[in-house]
Chain A
Amino acid sequence: MKLKILLGLLLCVVTGLQAQEYFPKNDAVKAGVNTNFTVFKNANIYVDPSNYITGGMLAVREGKVTAVGKNIKIPANAVVIDLKGKTIYPSFIDLYTNFGIEAPKAENNSNRGNPQYDATREGYYWNDHIRPETTALESFKYNDTEAEELRKLGFGVVNTHMPDGIIRGTGMLVALNSEGTLGDRILDEESAQYFSFDKSAKSRQVYPSSKMGAMALLRQTYLDADWYSKGKADNKDLALEAFNENKGLLQIFKTDNLLDELRADKVGDEFGVQYAIVGSGNEFERLDAIKATNAPFIVPVDFPEPYDMEDPYIAAYATLGDMKEWNQAPANLRMMAQSNIPFAITSKDAKKNFRENILKAVEYGLDKNTALAALTTVPAKLIGQENSLGSLKEGAWANFIITSGDYFDKETTIYENWVQGKRSVIEDIDLVNLNGTYDVKVGGNSYEMKVTGEAGKPKAEVKLNNNKIGSKINYKNNWVNILLSAPDTTKAEYTRLSAKIPEDAKSFSGKAILGDGSETSFTATRTAEASADKKDKKPEHPEILPVTFPNMAYGFESLPKQENILFKNATVWTNEEQGIVQNTDVLVRNGKIAEIGKDLNARGAKVVDATGKHLTSGIIDEHSHLAASAINEAGHNSSAEVRMEDVVDPDDIGVYRNLAGGVTTMQLLHGSANPIGGQSAILKMKWGASPQEMVLDNSPKFIKFALGENVKQANWDSNVRFPQTRMGVEQVFIDYFTRAREYEAQKNSGKPYRKDLEMETLLEILNGERHITAHSYVQSEINMLMEVAEQLGFKINTFTHILEGYKLADQMAEHGAGGSTFSDWWAYKYEVKDAIPQNAAIMHNAGVTVAINSDDAEMSRRLNQEAAKSVKYGDISEEEAWKFVTLNPAKLLHIDDRVGSIKEGKDADLVLWNAHPLSVYAKPEKTMIEGVVYFDLERDKKLRGEVEKQKNLLTTQMLKAKNNGLKTQPVKDSKKEEMHCDTL
């Protein structure tokens, strides 16, 4: 890449000296090229954002800047343009467009029969959504209407690409020069490589059906490309070849939301690639995490419209989170700048109100120079063109805009946009501003006329003897036409005035045609200047609410800190040998349980009186689908390569609700679409934390397997994917693990091998480094999986759901498998018709480690009640039943050395209950994780008031915005889909 830039530079310099035209010319003499200089004088010039010249000069020749300065030597063959105090800025650069390239439209997806699992292309990668061989040029068609729109916004150069697929191929750097040919406009035909998480519209290939699948696919593509580059593949793969060739380019990753920005960066980091990230505009919600990416950002300015809050019944659906986003988003760029996060600005999604929104960002505190840099030098540098684009230094492309003044002032007009030295007129630069108050004398009357508004679209208000009369004003090319009604409104008589406006519009005169048709003349003399109070007025924006973590209802204004706390005089459920002990103190220090005993010394810790209350370790939900952006990767019957860790969504209100139910840890499981599912994530319910911070440090490795109706796709219409029966399910396992052994042999042979993420995961299982949680229901399939595991040399760690576990608990105990089950669910599908609420108890009695889980956002927040059902249905002791939702799931997750009981040295993940924790009447008063109180009943009470207050304030702000004529959008649907195993 460096070489390329260097070459480009050399080329610039050379052409700067002398352009050698080698094309024949048939429509005129060839020696007719204009090689004159154009020199602009009396201009205020931003050479670049930090280099400003008042009343300077700019010389341009053959599309390039030849000189710029306060005072430069004007060559003899120069056309001089006096800009009379107008301002010149370098034209803007947009790195994310599909200018001149039409995005393919997906065919209507409804009712198209069976899904398509295989790729459709030959000679390319095995996945249709990987399209690095795509070039922008192959589908580019210069479109001057589109170019004009961009030029009007101030853009001179854009990067364009085919916005289709996960790896989208290369983009092309194009100048928006209205006069040249493609040969002139293309600055770099392969300027960057583009990525996204969106699948190609050109293919129906199912894989990847999820975000984590897209991430896994990217990883595998990097590995395959590396392997291919070593010449080890037997086949030709044009996609991988192109991908390898594109490596040296700027890598631009388009995302749609904040979490995806972090995800994209994470994949890049794993392969030593730093993407420039096309952001969402919501970076402000997690600035620390965004900053930690070290990525440059390309940020849109499509701020949300206010919600339409007029109908209170509809307004009731608006969430504080969405409302705050409206309130805060215009401050995004300011906050990014304050955090020193580098960014360029893109016009993506904001073509219509681009400038309005840039100005809004400035109004919300964005520094003007930073804004200008984000439109010029930053993108130029990102694309490696800082010497030829983004500034007006000598040798750079003559791409600049001429404005009436400060671009960031609402009143400022953009007159011209010059690209490669070619002028495009946006507004007439010579148009004289008429604004002011005039004394108009005509036909013996003396009118008072006040002209306001934009120079090209003035408005007039006319009075005669202090009475307003009807009037119309029309102003173009410095000719003004004014129509005046008669003072007597019953008369249809009009006076028409017409005049050419002189350069100094202080007074003008022209022809008047009176009501009776007679012609005379009129004069207008300015008596007062346009009032300037608008300019002096400090721009007002509504009060900006503080960003919280997460930035929604019940979020923290600042992340909560560890506290040293002494719980005094509680009934303590230790889950250890001591059992349940009365009147006991528990001391929490530095996030750990420091001491358990009677009458402990607080040693400076905050004392919480727990008299009459119960203190337990936090609830652990072994089976959850909360806090995730996706659950199933359903594109293949094995998805061992996908990681739930990749799709953690910390902004799920379910996290808060679970804390209110005493849950501190959960296993986020892949769904049950495939016999071999994805890698699990173990999360702590740290409300407000980033996705990465929620993941338990040094988590043991787990993977989800699944059996039965879901994997054979019996509950939805599909009959082309293997397996369709339980018989096939067995063969899937045998197939994959047999191949994993072969892969291992290849890997260990010392010969080159293709690193396969799916096989690597299966090897971890075979080597005992990764544990299996197997979704299972009926006896036969459970038996099958244990036998397959025993044959192939691995173990099933946990059977989850395991509703017929009671039928073969003895075999499970023998195999060493645990059981994590529902307390009482049954009869919702055929394979659970023999499910019984005594299941947990029978398994426990047979020596199986038993947990009660939820698989459900509702049930998980009252798992204490679910545990109590084993006391009822299975005569389990209360102490043991409590372990079903604490210590036992900790054991099943291999984290019982850290959580699951109240023991000195373990994580201070504690719940203070107002009553016996297994009782239906109990509720948590405090839920603590690692010494941090994440839920507190008192705080919740306060927040309820705060939520109402903030919503009221924002509602008023939005109603005001609507009243002021702002466009609104309908209130969003806040009901998040609650996800289960079979959520696709």
Chain B
Amino acid sequence: MSMKNLKQYILPVLLFISGSAFAQQTPAPEQSRPVTIVGATAHIGNGEVIENSLIIFQNGKITTVSDANSSDRQYPGTVIDAKGKHVYPGFIAPNSSLGLVEIDAVRQSDDEDELGELLPHVRSIIAYNAESQVVESMRPNGVLVGQIAPRGGRISGTSSIVQFDAWNWEDAVLKEDDGIHVNWPNSVRRGRWWEGEDRGIKANADYQENVRTLSDFFRNAKAYLAGSQEQANLPFQAMKKVFTGDQKVYVHANGEKEIIDILTFKKEHNLNNLVLVGGYDALKVVDELKAANVPVLVGRVHSTPNLEDNHYDLPYKLAHLLQQEGLLVALETSGSMERMNSRNLPFYAGTVTGYGANKEDALKMITLNTAKILGVDDSLGSLEAGKDATLFISEGDALDMRTNKVSQAFIRGREISLESHQTELAKRYSDKFEQQEKK
């Protein structure tokens, strides 16, 4: 038997034995003693930087963030010397479908899109797979929190905000049912060439009707909730927190005309909690968005421009240009192969920096701004006393793939594993080749 044949024989056996290691990393236990990080460059998330910082957290909460030079107090608990390193608040991936699909092409693993059009009662959280291998692969890049949103339909359903180190979804949830997701109709459509139409861009004849249907739904839900509610109506009931302002309305749209119509819709239904998601044309209506106080979750930075004539770097610089105009802006990751790609969120912010933004301003777009937009900035999004100790230490600048090397990460004070299905495979085969060399 040749060496090669022997290997073929042994390998499947190895695979079988190590199969047990393929489940998700065991979630970390509660924080039992304080942790002090000294000497790191702290990127607060609100635009500020402390070069030689002191960060203390206990019982899952940050207690101190200060300049290490100006404080002479004792360092409680575990002390981490992080000189030359960087500390960041955990990055937040909004409008994500992580945990709802494991492998894109395997339909059996897909739970992101329910049948129907107006589904505010459909909740993503219960389908969220806390043990997803894709979710755990976020953590080594500093992406520690996500908003898990369903897809499809006119109202896709209700999202929830989770942290990425959990036994199950109940354990993962940070804010349950934080908002509903509306896919705004398109005012234009492309010719159905396969039905013999020419390929031209046409006004969507159903657009007004689609908008009216959506508006009617909101109106009816409101009327229903004002009444006795004798007969159950699950979709209407699910709108309750939308009208009280306790849930956000995430409206997904890109076109200029659509955005203008959304602003009218917002006014009509008195929605002070509306967030625009996507916003490719937002720059054209930036004054109106600003006046209406609508924040934007800007669509994927790493994408090609929508139109041939667009500036080649439009997707790279859009978020910066909107922020420069005074809008509250954060970055989102939806699009093709979005789940596995979400770990590149920090590099989206890096690219926004490369194309015009200030580094700390770009950082806001994946930390504090996101937390503000999602309504969780009381506990997340920045390194500030009183907030959750959801943060990480990187060897270098975490917005740059060249230097993003997360050495330790904490979610609510718990030091989480940075291993994953992927790091285990890497280790297994690196070891294999090293052993071969030794022989």
Contact = CB atoms under 8 A, between A and B. Distances in A.
Interface of A: 110, 311, 313-314, 316-317, 319-321, 552-553, 653-654, 656-657, 660, 709, 715, 779, 783, 806-807, 809-811, 824-830, 833-834, 836-838, 842, 845-846, 857-859, 861-862, 865, 868-869, 871-872, 878, 915-916, 918-923, 940, 944, 947, 951, 969-976, 978
Contacts of A824: 340, 343-344
A314 B354 CA distance: 32
Nearest to A651: B308
A911 to B, nearest CB: 15
A915 B302 CA distance: 19
A858 B103 CA distance: 21
A827 B401 contact: no
B433 interface: yes
A833 B103 contact: yes
Interface in B353-390: 353-355
15 contacts: A317-B188, A825-B337, A828-B340, A829-B105, A829-B106, A830-B106, A838-B422, A861-B304, A862-B302, A868-B400, A869-B401, A872-B402, A920-B400, A974-B307, A976-B308
In the A-B complex, the 6 residue pairs with the smallest Cβ-Cβ separation, listed nearest first, are: A970-B200, A920-B350, A829-B105, A838-B426, A921-B354, A836-B422
Given A836-B425, A862-B351, A978 B337 contact: no
B425 A834 contact: yes
Contacts of A862: 302, 351
B214 to A, nearest CB: 19
Contacts of B400: 868, 919-921
A923 B312 CA distance: 12
Contacts of B313: 660, 923
A940 B312 contact: yes
Given A320-B309, A921-B350, A827 B255 contact: no
Given A807-B429, A828-B103, A923-B355, A972 B199 contact: yes
B20 interface: no
A914 to B, nearest CB: 9
Interface in B277-328: 302-309, 311-313
Q: What range describes how many residues of B lie at the interface? A: 35 or more
B133, B199, B302, B433: which has the most chain A beta carbons within 10 Å? B433
B279 to A, nearest CB: 15
Contact of B306 (A320, A783, A975): A975
Nearest to A715: B105
Interface stretch (B26-34, B149-157, B165-173, B190-198): B190-198
Given A313-B255, A806-B425, A836-B425, A827 B304 contact: no
A872 B401 contact: yes
B43 interface: no
Contacts of B311: 944
Contact of A827 (B104, B257, B426): B104
Contacts of B202: 314, 970
Contacts of A842: 426, 429-430, 433
A871 B402 contact: yes
Contacts of B201: 314, 317, 970-973
Contacts of A920: 347, 350-351, 353-354, 399-402
B112 interface: no
B103 A830 contact: yes
A974 B308 contact: yes
Interface of B: 4, 7-8, 11, 102-106, 133-134, 187-188, 190-191, 194, 198-203, 255-257, 302-309, 311-313, 337, 339-341, 343-344, 347, 350-351, 353-355, 399-405, 422-423, 425-426, 429-430, 433, 436
Contacts of B403: 872
Contacts of A975: 306-308
Nearest to A313: B257
Contacts of A974: 307-309
A315 B222 CA distance: 38
Contacts of A971: 200-201
A779 to B, nearest CB: 8
A552 B307 CA distance: 12
Contacts of B104: 827-829
Contact of A857 (B191, B304, B307, B309): B304
B351 A314 contact: no
Given A828-B340, A951-B309, A868 B401 contact: yes
Contacts of A921: 350, 353-354, 400
A660 B404 CA distance: 25
Contact of B203 (A311, A878, A973, A978): A311
A550 to B, nearest CB: 11
A631 to B, nearest CB: 17
Given A806-B425, A809-B433, A829 B103 contact: yes
A657 B312 contact: yes
B439 to A, nearest CB: 12
Contacts, number: 171
A516 B203 CA distance: 56
A314 B187 CA distance: 9
A868 B350 CA distance: 13
B304 A858 contact: yes
B190 A973 contact: yes
A313 B425 CA distance: 50
Contacts of A944: 311
B430 A978 contact: no
Contacts of A858: 302-304
A972 B200 contact: yes
B133 A878 contact: no
A15 to B, nearest CB: 48
Contacts of A973: 190-191, 199-201
Nearest to A969: B200
B307 A947 contact: no
Nearest to B101: A827
A321 B308 contact: yes
Contacts of B134: 827
B219 to A, nearest CB: 26
A865 B312 contact: no
Nearest to A923: B354
Nearest to A920: B350
Contacts of B133: 827, 833
Contacts of A857: 304
Given A871-B402, A872-B404, A920-B351, 6 more contacts: A553-B309, A806-B425, A825-B337, A828-B104, A842-B429, A923-B355
Nearest to B4: A811
B308 A553 contact: yes
Given A824-B343, A828-B337, A921-B400, A552 B308 contact: yes
B332 to A, nearest CB: 16
Contacts of B200: 969-973
B343 to A, nearest CB: 7
A527 to B, nearest CB: 52
Contacts of B307: 316-317, 319, 974-975
B422 A656 contact: no
Contacts of B425: 806, 834, 836, 838
A825 B309 contact: no
A953 B151 CA distance: 41
A869 B302 CA distance: 15
A861 B301 CA distance: 13
A774 B413 CA distance: 47
A878 B405 CA distance: 14
Contacts of A316: 256, 307
Contacts of B404: 872
Contacts of A859: 302
A739 to B, nearest CB: 27
Contact of A947 (B8, B309, B350, B401): B309
Contact of B402 (A110, A861, A919): A919
A861 B312 CA distance: 10
A826 B304 CA distance: 20
Interface centre among A657, A837, A970 (most CB of B within 10 A): A970
Nearest to B195: A110
A872 B395 CA distance: 10
